Amino acid sequence: MKSELIWSKALSISRKAIDCEAVIPLETYKYQSIKRFFDYELRFLKKTFPKKLIEYGPKINPFIPWDPRLEVQAVNDNYTLILNKYPVQLGHLLLITNYWKPQNGWLNIDDFEAISKVDKDTSGLWFFNSSKEAGASQPHRHFQLLRRQTYESICPRYEWFCSLLNSREHFKSDIKQCVSIKPRMSKSDINAKDLFNSYKSMIIEMDLGNINNDDKPLKPYNLLITEKWISLIVRSKDRSHGFSINALGFAGYFLGTKRSDIDMLIKFGSESILKHVI
């Protein structure tokens, strides 16, 4: 059982940050499907996103410096955990680099050591969007964590990834050719090295370039990390049928808007949307 001191701290700081409007939660409601089994969670905003919060013109890097009211704690020497300013889930955490590192550059062992350090205390669904085309909203390197309790499902498409990992017979999918997945080792002392080695292996498998020779990956991609596996998904664009798709889309989370083809998602499932961004 993990101590979850980070999670407790994140919730405490969230309450204070909400009081001073440093954190502005986005209230949503969940679509209730009549189907018994489905592979997505569809939500809608209860209110329109306030226009006064939308930035116009060149975007300012929100991580240099980061808002101290959002800070949860330092991680190793070069990373900091902060709160997501506009969370759908309270306590949505961002692991950011203290100094500039590009979101679209190669990840390194330091990144995975920072992830592993947090993960040993508080775990859940980690995700990473490599670039704008992969759904990233900021070019400064950041990883995101949605904490999960032990009895909770990690994400709606968790079993889909497990089926891909286990190479189950008759496993059919329109997107599996663009997905690589590796199991995670259980020994904590080699966790970061294992994650980094898996990352490098998937980079080769998905033909994203040479980590030693190329300046950056040749294609956009997402990462999803759970306690059981790490997965890399190769992308081509960030939108499909009116949905903005980042790594959470492949995990099965969708935020519907007036532009979204809700009927297609409900009738045909998540892959009807996801296959158009690979």
Q: Which residues contact 96 (CB under 8 A, 6 or more apart)?
A: 63, 66, 79, 80, 81, 82, 140, 141, 142
pLDDT single digits (tens) 142-188: 999 999 988 889 999 999 999 999 886 667 899 999 999 999 976 55
What domains, with CATH codes, occur in the chain? 5-274 (3.30.428.70)
pLDDT single digits (tens) 100-139: 999 999 999 999 999 999 999 999 999 999 999 999 999 9
Alpha carbon 149 to its chain's center? 17
236 touches 278 (CB < 8 A): yes
pLDDT single digits (tens) 21-58: 999 999 999 998 777 667 899 999 998 766 655 666 67
Report the C-alpha gap between 250 and 192 in whole angstroms. Answer: 23
Q: Which residues contact 95 (CB under 8 A, 6 or more apart)?
A: 75, 79, 80, 81, 114, 115, 118, 142, 143, 144, 145
Strands 41-45 and 253-256: parallel
